[in-house]
Structure 1
Amino acid sequence: MSTPPIQWYPGHIAKAERLLTDQLKKVDVVLEVRDARIPFATHHPNVGQWIGTKGRVLVMNRMDMIPDETRQQWQAWLKENDISPQFTDGHGGRGIKELAGAIKQAGAAINRRRKERGMLPRPIRCVVIGFPNVGKSAIINRLLGKRVVDSARRAGVTRALRWVRISDQIELLDAPGVLPNKLDDQDAAIKLAICDDIGEAAYDHQRIAAHFIDLLKTQHQEQPLTDRYEINASDITGEDFVQDLADLKFHGSKDRSAKLILNDFRVGKLGAIALELPPATP
Structure 2
Amino acid sequence: MDIPKIQWYPGHIAKAEKKLSEVINKVDLVIEVRDARIPLSTGHPHLNKWINNKKHILVINRSDMVSPHTINSWNKWFNAKDQYPLWCDAKRGIGIKEICKSAKDSRSSIDDRRLSRGMRIRPIRALTLGFPNVGKSALINRIAKKRVVDSARKAGVTRNLRWIKLESGIDLLDAPGVIPPNLEDQKSALNLALCDDIGEAAYEIESVAIEFIKIISTLNKDKNANISAKQISNRYGVDITKGFKSPSAWINEAASKHTSGDTRRMSHKLLEDYRNQMLGKIALEVPLWN
Give me the TM-score of the superposition, normalised by structure 1.
0.96
Root-mean-square deviation (CA), in Å? 1.4
Q: Structure 1 vs Structure 2: percent identity of aligned residues?
A: 47
Matching of residue 43 in structure 1 with residue 43 in structure 2: yes
8 Å CA contact retained: 1:55, 1:107? no
In structure 1, the residue matched to 2:267 is: 258
**In 2: Cα distance, 1:175 partner to 1:228 partner:** 38
Cα distance in 2 between the residues matched to 1:78 and 1:258: 34
Structure 1 residue 2 displacement after superposition: 5.6
Q: CA deviation at 1:223?
A: 3.4
User: Which consecutive residues of structure 2, in runs of 5 or more, have no partner in the other structure?
Assistant: 221-226
Match of 1:242 among 247, 251, 266: 251
Matched, 1:15 2:15: yes
Q: Which residue of 2 aligns with 1:89?
A: 89
Task: Give how far 1:3 is off.
Answer: 4.4
Cα pair 2:4 2:207 within 8 Å, conserved: no
- For 1:3 and 1:86, the matched residues in 2 are separated by 34
* Paired position in structure 1 for 2:239: 232
Q: 1:3 to 1:215 in 2, by over 3 A?
A: closer
CA, structure 1 residues 100+249, in 2 after alignment: closer, same or farther (shift >3 Å)?
A: same
> 2-side partners of 1:238 and 1:147: how far apart?
43
Cα 1:4–1:209 shift into 2, 3 Å: closer
Query: 8 Å contact 1:104–1:124 — kept in the other structure?
Result: no
Letter in 1 for 2:242: D
Q: 1-side partners of 2:140 and 2:149: how far apart?
A: 8
Tell me if 1:149 matches 2:149: yes
Q: Distance in 1 between matches of 2:230 and 2:199?
A: 28
Letter in 2 for 1:276: E
Distance 1:23 1:140 in 2: 19
Between 1:161-170 and 1:244-253, the stretch displaced more is 161-170
**CA deviation map 1:93-143 (0-9, x unaligned):** 110110011112223222002333455432221001111000000000111
Superposition deviation, residue 203 in structure 1:
0.6
Cα distance in structure 1, aligned partners of 2:121 and 2:162: 23
In structure 1, the residue matched to 2:286 is 277
Distance 1:233 1:156, change over 3 A: same
Amino acid at match of 2:155: A
Hey, what does 1:113 align to over in structure 2? Answer: 113
1:210 and 1:241 in contact (8 A); partners too = no
- 1:7-54 deviation per Cα after TM superposition (whole angstroms, max 9, x unaligned): 001111111111111111111001111101001111110000000010
Cα shift readout 1:51-106 (whole Å, capped 9, x = no counterpart): 00100011111000001000001111111111110101110111011001111222
Matches within 5 A, 1:208-223: 208-220=208-220, 221=227, 222-223=229-230
**Deviation readout 1:143-172 (Å, 9 max, x if unpaired):** 111111111111111000001112232221
Distance 2:41 2:104 in 1: 28
Question: What letter is aligned with 2:272?
Answer: N
- Which residue does 2:276 correspond to in 1? 267
**Distance across 1 between alignment mates of 2:168 and 2:3:** 52
User: Normalising by structure 2, what TM-score?
Assistant: 0.93
Q: 1:3 to 1:82 in 2, by over 3 A?
A: closer
Q: CA, structure 1 residues 191+231, in 2 after alignment: closer, same or farther (shift >3 Å)?
A: same
Whether 1:183 aligns to 2:183 is yes
Gaps of 5+ in 1: none
Count how many residue pairs are aligned between Structure 1 and Structure 2. Answer: 281
Contact 2:34 2:60 in 1 (8 A): yes
Q: Please name the residue that 1:60 is paired with.
A: 60
Query: Which residues of 2 match residues 127-146 of structure 1 at below 5 A?
Result: 127-146=127-146
